[in-house]
């Protein structure tokens, strides 16, 4: 029942920065974790970073020290600040919400439509 919309992608040179935004149609307070995934052409979609409702963050090793995930609950928005971008960061980036359906044991995942990030000189 929550819709996610990503924005902020674009074309940048290696070493540049971008800030991605994920706007939710409803409250994200009851979603256990929000995160970002990415998918390059011909590759599987991979997890990049996540943040729990309590504010704990996780990152894959390749982006540690370069990417920062954050959330603004009042705006129902999650951000991904990307610095020191590399060509291998090129991919479509997707926003994700993961949790358990209230009153059940059923897991759920919400997905945005994706935003393109291209890192090239």
Burial 45-64 (b: 16+ CB within 10 A, else e): eeebbbbeeeeeeebeeebe
Distance, in Å, from the CA atom of 102 to the CA atom of 30, rounded to the nearest integer, reads 9
Beta carbons within 10 angstroms of residue 18's beta carbon: 20
Please list the pLDDT of the chain residue by residue as tens digits (121 residues).
789 999 999 999 999 999 999 999 988 878 889 999 999 999 999 999 999 999 999 999 999 999 999 999 999 999 999 999 999 999 999 999 999 888 999 999 999 999 999 999 9
> How distant, in Å, are the alpha carbons of 44, 58, 68, 112 from that of 65?
23, 11, 8, 25
In the chain the first and final C-alpha atoms are separated, in Å, by 40
């Amino acid at each position: 029942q929550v819709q996610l919309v990503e924005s902020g992608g674009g074309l940048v040179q290696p070493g540049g920065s971008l800030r991605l935004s994920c706007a939710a149609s409803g409250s994200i307070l009851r979603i256990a974790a929000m995160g970002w995934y990415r998918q390059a052409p011909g590759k599987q979609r991979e997890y990049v970073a996540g943040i729990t409702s309590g504010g704990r963050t996780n990152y894959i090793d390749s982006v540690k020290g370069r990417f920062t995930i954050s959330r603004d609950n009042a705006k129902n928005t999650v951000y991904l600040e990307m610095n020191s971008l590399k060509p291998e960061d090129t991919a479509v980036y997707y926003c994700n919400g993961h949790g358990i359906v209230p009153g059940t044991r059923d897991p759920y995942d919400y997905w945005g439509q994706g935003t393109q990030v291209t890192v090239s000189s």
